[in-house]
A and B are shown apart, each in its own frame.
Chain A
Amino acid sequence: MSTAAVARSPFRPARLITYALLLVVAAFYLLPIYVIAVTAFKSFIEVSHTTPWQLPSAPSLDAFGNAFTTLAPSFLNSVLLVVPATLLSALLGSLNGYVLSKWRFRGADLVFTLLLFGMFIPYQSILLPLVLVLQKIQLYGGIPGLVLTHVVYGIPITTLIFRNYYAAVPTEVIEAARIDGASVLGIYRHVLLPISMPGFVVVLIWQFTSIWNEFLFAVTLTLPDQWPITVALNGLAGSLLAHYEIQMAGALLTALPPLVIYIVLGRYFIRGLLAGALKG
């Protein structure tokens, strides 16, 4: 159906059906948000009643207070994990993308393919050696080891996004700088880096979101006082079994940073998402 066709007929029953269906689908996606909202604002007494789908009779912020007190240390752990891991892997990805798009050596395609494969493997296939090596180098159990892990396994996707981004920069620009006597690093710093902002935004958002949300490495490689927030949230369910209001408040707290990013910079988030599909 073309735009022109819609413009010609301002009202059609087909559009009503379209809206109705759009709303039904939206209701499905928003259902968990409704559940979080109505449950997290209830008191423990009210949550224990069999009226979970009704709005809270006396909205209270107690659950958020409780969830925040319990999760604050792991929220901080997640921040200490995500910030360095995101910055480091973006920097590595940018350098790799530069080399693989502009200084292609013999075998560069093979190297790139072998790097890319690293982002599809099930991490179970490297988990046992990873634990043994981190134990050996005294990095098991804490955030620094987890930072290293996320930087390494972030290399493929960050390299992929930057390689595509830099591929669109005309080679003539690089050649001109070369003839003017710029070095390989000089070209990176003075020619590519200044125009890299959009690429960095995509990569930083993607890495921030993935690392914040990650669970397998976090639950395997950290001890309780170093837990990132996803592991701590799962822990709430065990320690506060019937306190659904605190669990839901905790879920919202865990989801908040990536959600804020999605709401503010959604466009860039979707670009990172589709980059992983290789063929868009």
Chain B
Amino acid sequence: MAVAATRERPIRGRSLGSFSWDRFTPFFLIAPSIVLIAIFVYAFIGYTAFISTTKWYGIAPDYTSAGLTQYIDLFGLPRFQADVSNTIEFTILFLIACILLGFGSAVLLDQHVRGTIFFQNIYLFPLAISFVVTGTVWRWIFNPNFGINLLLDDIHLGFLKSPWLADTRTALYGLVIAAAWQMSGFCMAMFLAGLRAIPDELREAARVDGASEGRIFLRVILPLMRPITLSAIIILGHISLKIFDLVYVMTFGGPGYATDMPSLYMWVAVFRQNLYGRGAAIAMVLLIMVALLIVPYLVWSLRSEDER
């Protein structure tokens, strides 16, 4: 489903009949939502931006101006530097895992074998589950002494054993696996919809021209997947930048700062350490990172809607 559902020509109040108060009804219907979003999204973001330029530390508000010192201090903090590199590394690995797994399973499900629906339902069910549930279960699976390591020994894959969440070098990979387990089905659903939209005539035509199946896949199918891949990267990428629940439940940023992320540090700074000004600055950095990804996408989506 897309924004670009076929849009019918809308009615303009002006075009019909004489003046009536009913012309204003649509405005009254939508006004509460507009007011709520104006306050809860835009005014609140403005207020967060304002707090990020104050010295506010502690429970009592302190609006003494700090200029941009919160931001300057932030980028000098080892913890925040770790956060930024963690969030980038996590996002890249998470995207690669989701796209490979999602595209791979979509191709498998598109082979028209019996039982496709059954497998599709299995691949998609993690999307219905809370990150908190996912985190609780995967934390147990990654227990170095009781979890997956014992299973790997049993099935003679002992060389894959790892300290997982207990070690600063591997903890992030544990998070990536759990997050990809939960979200890769989303990629699969997008790719599968894309693959099913390719008309059979296109493949037939290529076959008639003497192209091998492998060549058709590389030269016809893959290029058609490009816009879907871009959409998946943007949607999953922004989810990845915002990821909070899974980190909170599985590692709470540890060990050390090995899996700390801006989304978690903002929460800790404000609600555990009372560093309101710093927390607001982290929130603004996070918002800017997400906006850089989302705003061009929104404009692109809504524009191509108008062109259809």
Identify the A interface with B (CB < 8 A).
Answer: 1-3, 6, 15, 18-19, 21-22, 25-26, 28-32, 35-36, 39, 50, 52-53, 92, 95-96, 98-105, 109, 111-118, 120-130, 133, 152-153, 155-156, 159-161, 164-165, 167-171, 174-175, 178-179, 183-185, 209, 212-216, 219-220, 230-231, 233-234, 236-237, 244, 247-248, 250-251, 254-255, 258-259, 261-262, 266, 269-271, 273-280
Contacts and interface: CB of A to CB of B under 8 A. Distances in A.
Q: Which 10 residue pairs are nearest across A and B when measured between Cβ atoms?
A: A213-B130, A103-B26, A184-B25, A126-B44, A262-B128, A104-B10, A215-B245, A129-B44, A125-B287, A164-B5
A247 to B, nearest CB: 6
A266 B124 contact: yes
B29 interface: yes
A153 B193 CA distance: 28
Contacts of A167: 5-8
B131 A118 contact: no
B263 interface: yes
Contact of A122 (B43, B190, B241): B241
B1 A271 contact: yes
A254 B290 contact: no
Interface stretch (B68-76, B78-86, B143-151, B168-176): B143-151
Given A26-B119, A96-B33, A126-B45, A153 B266 contact: no
B231 A277 contact: yes
B105 interface: yes
Interface string B125-165: 11111111111111111000111001100100000000000
B270 A174 contact: no
B263 to A, nearest CB: 6
B297 interface: yes
B119 to A, nearest CB: 5
B26 A105 contact: yes
A99 B30 contact: yes
Contacts of A127: 266-267, 270, 283
Given A99-B26, A125-B283, 5 more contacts: A29-B123, A32-B181, A102-B11, A122-B263, A262-B128
A121 B8 contact: no
Contacts of B249: 215, 234, 237
18 contacts: A2-B204, A25-B119, A35-B137, A50-B145, A95-B30, A111-B30, A122-B286, A124-B262, A124-B283, A124-B286, A125-B44, A167-B6, A171-B10, A185-B29, A216-B244, A219-B248, A254-B133, A266-B121
B132 A254 contact: yes
Contacts of A99: 26-27, 29-30
A254 B162 CA distance: 29
Nearest to B147: A52
Nearest to A244: B140
Contacts of A129: 43-44, 47-48
A32 B137 contact: yes
Given A52-B150, A152-B36, A234-B248, A1 B111 contact: yes
A249 B188 CA distance: 29
B286 A125 contact: yes
